[in-house]
Amino acid sequence: MPSVSAIRPTRPVFPVVVTLLSLALTGLFLAGGARAADAESPVDWQSWSPAVFERADREDKLVLLDLGAVWCHWCHVMDRETYANPDVAAYLAEHYVAVKVDQDRRPDLANRFRDYGWPATIVFNAGGTEIVKRAGYIPPEKFMRLLTAIVADPSPEAATRTDTVDEFVGSPLLTETVRDELLDMHERSYDWDNGGLDLAQKFLDRDSVEYALREAWQGDEREARKARQTLDASYNLIDPVWGGIYQYSTGGDWHYPHFEKIMTSQAGYLRIYALAYAQWQDPDDLRAARGTIDYLNTFLSGPDGAFYTSQDADVIPGQHSAGYFEKGDEARRQEGIPRVDTHRYARENGWAIEALTRFHDATGDTAALDRARQAARWVLAERRLPGGGFRHDANDPAGPYLGDSLAMGRACLSLYRSTAERPWLDCATGAAGFIDRHFRQHGAGFITSVAEPGVPVAPAARIEENISVTRFANLLHHYTGDPAWRTLAEHGMRYLATPAIATARVEEAGILLADQELARAPRHFTIVGAKDDPQARALYRLALAEPGDYKRIEWWDREEGPLPNPDVQYPATDRAAAYVCTDKRCSLPAFDGDRYADVIARLTHPADSDNRPTED
């Protein structure tokens, strides 16, 4: 079969990344991430709190929430053109209590309204009932018509399907009907002309690409082509000068990027590029991953080892920057550098840590692992809560939020897999216990935040977070043998398997991934030998580099006592030995890398497939 590169019409261009010192000298990093228009705005902006609804009730007003992001171009435009309009400001003062929130700082609100994009405009009555939700920039004249129409008739608009689900399925696995519908959605939603989902906005949907990679590894050539085409197309979102991933492209293809660089994109793409490289050993995936790490280390790294949150889309807030990003390094510097939000959130650091460990596992890059450890130690020291969970920031206005404990739980489990250092597994189980105690929703699933006292807007459940909890808890069950984590995973899956939730959106390949994982045990690799034994280290490195993310990899140094989940009895040998188990059998010991690779291939690799896409 031809190589992966044989199906590419062009080769991607990868960046040369500048140094952090030169950036620091510009003085353009944004401490705290406040939205720049706030101080000069004629609108009397309030913070989200119980007092907002008390005031609205007392003054017979509505509550308007402007939910945006410090990195968001259209948020800047709306601040500059719409909220700066004196007629808009006056009408808001008369009829509304206006609230402005940075969505990165408030994951509870961000997750509730994420589908509306930023800026999101939401209007509530004083009792917390949602009346209107609108997505994106609204010009002043249109905004005035909307505000006056709501005042004239403050009746709530229809709720969405997932807003109204209150009964969940009893089984923690998908029915055949729902599974078939999800598979059909996965197929129908693909854009064969351009790659990625068939949407006006182009981005690398991580779950759909991971699902395609998994099916490709099983020999599905059609899914292999989906994954390869989308990965190749996503290279267009890499900044060719400084590196880093632009958030998405408009226009139905990959050539009109929005230039903000947010951590969810950096970490999410890095993780997928690492998984793709482990599977296909394609040098372009490796370069894309390395360039992303260079960007993180250059632009989004603090001096204390923690990661920052985002970099703005605009050099001057509200002014398009396409021309700026067409320039080279020196010309950009002459104009300035887009601001970096220096908040150090536990959630964003967890995402970066997990992605870096995946890169280490695929490549053996110890610098990436060291960087992941450094960030994790900072978060443990600065963001950990009593009981094993994590706060979002140094001082949170509400919370705790599910995303922080979830991201750090996954990060710690990933560090345990990469290092076999048991304190990381303790961190993961602590986070899982915190999730169970604080975010478990009645019936099924997990809510995004602890309820905020006095605020009449209840926290919501989010599909993405429930997929992530389900997969994390299930894998943690296999590492520890503790049935509580399997129960936690099944609680999440009952939410996801509910038809109105599973099929509510364009594509939910993450639910297919979770369903597959709950139905079978992960591939299980165990190395038995001393941690300072070079042969044991080599065997462990080989297991880490195996394709796929659904793996259980353990290193048993008998001096440390039994494994956390001693469900397999390994014989005593006079030298380091390696084993691989499936849900049906375990191998005999292998004592060298070539033999172990052969055993892994015979027991776990799909037959008659080199796992690569071919030409039509």
Q: Which of 39-43, 99-103, 442-446, 496-500 has the lowest mean pLDDT?
A: 39-43
Q: Put residue 79 in one of left, alpha, beta given phi > 0 → left and psi -120 to 50 → alpha.
A: alpha
Residues 372-381: tens digit of each pLDDT: 999 999 999 9
Mean pLDDT, rounded, of the chain: 92
How far apart CA 388 and CA 153 sit, in angstroms, is 47
pLDDT (0 to 100) of residue 38: 59
- Look at residues 137, 251, 262, 255 and name the one whose alpha carbon lies nearest to residue 200: 251
Secondary structure letter of residue 446 according to DSSP: B
How far apart CA 296 and CA 302 sit, in angstroms, is 10
Q: Residue 186 corresponds to which tokens in the numbers above? A: 């996965």
Those residues with Cβ within 8 angstroms of residue 309's Cβ, 6 or more apart along the chain or in another chain: 33, 104, 262, 263, 300, 341, 342, 343, 344, 345, 348
- The gap from C-alpha 26 to its chain's centroid, in whole angstroms, comes to 30
How far apart CA 369 and CA 347 sit, in angstroms, is 18
- Look at residues 23, 119, 15 and name the one whose alpha carbon lies nearest to residue 77: 119
Whole-model pTM: value is 0.93
Terminal-residue alpha carbon distance, the chain: 11
Three-state DSSP state, 83: helix
Burial of residue 416 (CB within 10 Å: 0-12, 13-18, 19+) is buried
Q: For 580, what's the count of Cα atoms within 13 Å in the CB-facing half-sphere?
A: 22
Angle of CA points 507, 510, 513, to nearest 5°: 130
Secondary structure letter of residue 132 according to DSSP: E
How far apart CA 48 and CA 434 sit, in angstroms, is 25
Q: Which residues of 109-124 are buried (b: 16+ CB within 10 A; e: fewer)?
A: bbbbbbeebbbbbbbb
With contact defined as beta carbons under 8 Å apart, do 391 and 385 qualify? yes
Those residues with Cβ within 8 angstroms of residue 61's Cβ, 6 or more apart along the chain or in another chain: 55, 95, 96, 97, 126
Residues 45-67: tens digit of each pLDDT: 999 999 999 999 999 999 999 99
Using the predicted structure, report yes or no on whether residue 7 has a pLDDT greater than 90: no
Residues 501-550: tens digit of each pLDDT: 999 999 999 999 999 999 999 999 999 999 999 999 999 999 999 999 99
Q: For 375, what's the count of Cα atoms within 13 Å in the CB-facing half-sphere?
A: 32
Residues 313-361: tens digit of each pLDDT: 999 998 988 999 999 999 999 999 999 999 999 999 999 999 999 999 9
Using the predicted structure, report yes or no on whether residue 23 has a pLDDT greater than 80: no
List phi, psi (to 5°) of 480. -105, -25
How far apart CA 70 and CA 341 sit, in angstroms, is 7
Those residues with Cβ within 8 angstroms of residue 330's Cβ, 6 or more apart along the chain or in another chain: none
Q: Which residues of 16-38 are buried (b: 16+ CB within 10 A; e: fewer)?
A: ebbeeeebeeeeebbeebebbbe
Using the predicted structure, report yes or no on whether residue 560 has a pLDDT greater than 70: yes
How far apart CA 7 and CA 2 sit, in angstroms, is 8
Angle of CA points 601, 605, 610, to nearest 5°: 100
SS3 of 500-520: the string is HHHCCCCCCHHHHHHHHHHHC
Secondary structure letter of residue 130 according to DSSP: E
How far apart CA 611 and CA 547 sit, in angstroms, is 10
Query: Which of the four pLDDT bands, split at 50, 70 and 90, describes residue 115?
Result: confident
Residues 425-470: tens digit of each pLDDT: 999 999 999 999 999 999 999 999 999 999 999 999 999 999 999 9
- Cis preceding-peptide flag for 119 (omega within 30 of 0): yes
With contact defined as beta carbons under 8 Å apart, do 117 and 450 qualify? no
The residues facing 121 across adjacent strands are: 66, 134
pLDDT (0 to 100) of residue 164: 65
Using the predicted structure, report yes or no on whether residue 20 has a pLDDT greater than 50: no
pLDDT (0 to 100) of residue 166: 77
What's the full length of the chain, in residues? Answer: 616
**Rg (the chain; Cα; Å):** 25
Q: What is the full DSSP assignment across 23-71?
A: HHTTT-EESTT--TTGGG-SS--B-SSHHHHHHHHHHT-EEEEEEE-TT
Using the predicted structure, report yes or no on whether residue 573 has a pLDDT greater than 70: yes
Using the predicted structure, report yes or no on whether residue 37 has a pLDDT greater than 50: no
Three-state DSSP state, 374: helix
Q: Long-range CB contacts (< 8 A, 24+ apart) of 407-410?
A: 407/346, 407/347, 407/348, 407/349, 407/350, 407/351, 407/354, 408/346, 408/347, 408/349, 408/350, 408/353, 408/376, 408/379, 408/383, 409/350, 409/435, 409/472, 409/476, 410/350, 410/354, 410/468, 410/472
User: What is the average pLDDT across 227-232?
Assistant: 98
Burial of residue 199 (CB within 10 Å: 0-12, 13-18, 19+) is middle
